[in-house]
Amino acid sequence: LRVMDYSHWHFNVSCCRDTIVGMRIAEVPCMAAASILTVVFILAQIRTKVLHSNLRALFIATALTDLCIMYIRVYDLLHTDGLIIDHPLVLVTKYTGWVFDCLLLLIILIERNYALKHNETYDEV
């Protein structure tokens, strides 16, 4: 981890300390609400069959990636000796999620292209 100590932020100065503590306090309810809404979204995607299965997989994968990135931030909230910059786990999770999402979109496009060439609809597949 690359850690920048609080000397760069002058943590002894009241305004910087209040800002850092305030940001961490405000982030906790936001993360809790986002976690709950993400889990509800994932459950709704799993239980409903309205969207195509690959599109649902894309939405679920994106939501899980966002949830992982959000939970990595918990370490940042608990880590009090410095500000974490460019957490490697966050970067790996983001890029893995983006690659996975791009592959799923490509699979959906290939599948729809094949279905159009063979005059198939979603109901016939």
When pLDDT is cut at 50, 70 and 90, the band that residue 15 belongs to is low
Residue 40 pLDDT > 90: yes
Question: Residue 68: its pLDDT value, please?
Answer: 81
Residue 3 pLDDT > 60: no
Report d(CA 23, CA 21) in Å as an integer.
Answer: 5
* pLDDT tens-digit series, residues 44-62: 989 988 777 878 888 888 8
Report d(CA 107, CA 2) in Å as an integer.
Answer: 37
Nearest to 69 by CA among 88, 39, 90, 87: 90
Nearest to 84 by CA among 8, 19, 5: 5
Question: Residue 1: its pLDDT value, please?
Answer: 45
Q: Which of 19-23, 37-41, 72-76, 78-82 has the highest average model confidence (pLDDT)? A: 37-41
pTM of the full predicted structure?
0.58
Question: Residue 9: its pLDDT value, please?
Answer: 55
Residue 84 pLDDT > 60: no
Report d(CA 73, CA 105) in Å as an integer.
Answer: 28
